[in-house]
Amino acid sequence: MPARDGGGLRLDAAALVQLGQALRAAGYRFTTVTPATHARVIARDPGAAAACLRGVFGWSRPYATQPHGATLPGHVARLIERSGIAVPTPDGEGNTGRMRSALRCSTLDGQLYFHSAYPTSEAGSVFFGPDTYRFVRALRCETAARDRAGEKPPARIADLCCGAGPAAIVLAGRYPQAEVLAIDINRDALELTQVNAELAGAPNVRVVISDLLGDVEGGFDLITANPPYLLDAAQRSYRHGGGELGEGLAVRIVAAALQRLNPGGVLMLYTGVAITGGEDVLLRRAAPLLNAADCTWRYEEIDPDVFGEELSLPVYAGAERIAAVWLTVCKKD
């Protein structure tokens, strides 16, 4: 996995928190779709300026700044400028009469999450999308089932490859007495996680830069992860999973978790896997590790077909589909 420190954003975090609060006060809502769907939607009116907050912060369209044609309320426009996310956008004739936001803002369970604008072509882009919604839904269901069963609440939690921080923030809200570490190799991701945690009122989230658990000490009662799982030619950190077909990082997470879970601790892993000839390469590689460990585990497909557009790439010439999978590992007491 390539090391990537991030640091490309130059944000005023306090202004960005205020911007999020202003969006919330305005009733802002946006569900982020796949890049392919996003491209199809904006292609209906290419180059059009945003007509509302959702156009600016959801669809990443440019917005007008002139007083008589301004898209945004004045206080929102000022907060965009102060936060450092306003980017000049040339019009069709090369003039920079419009701006765009360098970040999007998505909603999940009523909370707002800042993340990278479309298109996410930068090496250090901060991901948020359909996988995020699937991951958090599975995480809610799994933790609720454990709570109903009377399992002891986790006191120390690690969310690996945290991205914009949704899992860490959801878990911090569910377990307010727990220490929640949001871990990533991307400084931009950690900066946005800190902002998003403040917006959500989650003071027990602490951001940590680390390659998985390499720079973190101690054991954990709960480890969660939604790692990148594609083979990306540019090896962008938010997409590239490495290994044979993108499963490499997920295998590393399983191995690390088995070493760092406390007795009775749990790993909850959401990822994707390319299926070739009916074979799941992640299961093939992870099962021997799990079977040799002092644990119980459950593995299931939760969506049989995601990101089908990737199959047109040469690296997936032998793959028949990409599935979203969920792994739960319980270390024995």
With a cut of 70, say whether residue 265 has pLDDT above it: yes
Whole-angstrom distance, CA of residue 239 vs CA of residue 281: 18
Average pLDDT of the residues of the chain: 92
pLDDT in tens, 37-71: 999 999 999 989 999 999 999 999 999 876 545 67
- The residue range of the domain holding 303 is 130-331
With a cut of 60, say whether residue 326 has pLDDT above it: yes
What domain count does the chain have?
2
pLDDT in tens, 189-204: 999 999 999 999 999 9
Least confident of 96-105, 127-136, 209-218, 324-333: 96-105
Does one domain contain both 291 and 159? Answer: yes
Determine the pLDDT at residue 324: 97
Residue that finishes a domain, picked among 50, 82, 116: 116
Determine the pLDDT at residue 67: 59
83 pLDDT band, cuts 50/70/90, is very high
List beta partners, residue 230. 240
Across residues 302-311, what is the average pLDDT? 94
Does one domain contain both 171 and 141? Answer: yes
Whole-angstrom distance, CA of residue 237 vs CA of residue 243: 14
Q: Calculate what percentage of the chain has a pLDDT beyond 70.
A: 93
pLDDT in tens, 149-169: 999 999 999 999 999 999 999
Does one domain contain both 142 and 265? Answer: yes
pLDDT in tens, 223-240: 999 999 998 888 888 888
* pTM score above 0.75: yes
- Mark residue 152 as left, alpha or beta (left: phi above 0; alpha: psi -120 to 50; beta: remaining): beta
In a domain, 230, yes or no: yes
In a domain, 122, yes or no: no
CB count, 10 Å around CB of 211?
Answer: 16
Paired sense of beta strands 295-303 and 156-160, if any? unpaired
Does one domain contain both 105 and 221? Answer: no
